[in-house]
Amino acid sequence: MITAALLAGLTAALLVGPGPELGSRVPGRPSQTGARPSGRRAAITVGSALAGLGVQLFVGGPAGTVLGVAAAIGCWRVLRAVEPAAVRRAREQTARDLPHLVGLLAAGLRSGAPPGAALGAACTALPGAAADAFAATRSRLQLGVDPALVWADLGQDPGVGPLGRALARAHQTGASVLVAVEALATALAEEERAGTEDRARAVGVRAALPLGLCLLPAFLLLGIVPLVAGLVSQLAWE
pLDDT digits (tens, 9 = 90+) for 79-129: 777 766 777 787 888 888 889 999 999 999 999 998 889 999 999 998 988
Q: pLDDT confidence of 235, banded at 50, 70, 90?
A: confident
Q: What integer pLDDT is reported at residue 25 of this predicted model?
A: 42
Q: With 50 as the cut, is the pLDDT of residue 175 above it?
A: yes
Confidence (pLDDT) at 41: 76
Q: Which residue has the higher pLDDT, 5 or 48?
A: 48
User: What pLDDT is stored for residue 47 in this prediction?
Assistant: 77
Percent with pLDDT over 90 in the chain: 13
Which one has a higher pLDDT value, 181 or 81?
181
**Distance, CA of 117 to chain centre:** 30
% residues pLDDT > 70 (the chain): 82
List the one residue out of 39, 68, 36, 65 whose CA is nearest residue 52: 68
**Which pTM was predicted?**
0.55
Q: Which of 17-21, 205-209, 224-228 has the lowest mean pLDDT?
A: 17-21
Report CA dihedral (70, 72, 73, 77) to the nearest 10 degrees: 130
Q: Could you give the count of Cα atoms lying within 13 Å of 215 in the half-sphere of its Cβ?
A: 6
pLDDT band at 183 (very low <50, low <70, confident <90, very high): very high
Task: Count other C-beta atoms under 10 Å from residue 105's C-beta.
Answer: 29
pLDDT tens for each residue of 32-49: 333 355 677 777 787 778
Element of type H or E holding 183: helix 177-219
Lowest mean pLDDT among 55-69, 158-172, 200-214: 200-214
Nearest of 75, 30, 18 to residue 48 by alpha carbon: 75
Question: Rounded mean pLDDT of the chain?
Answer: 77
Closest to 173 in 3D by CA, of 151, 143, 140, 144:
151
Q: Does the pLDDT at position 238 exceed 50?
A: yes
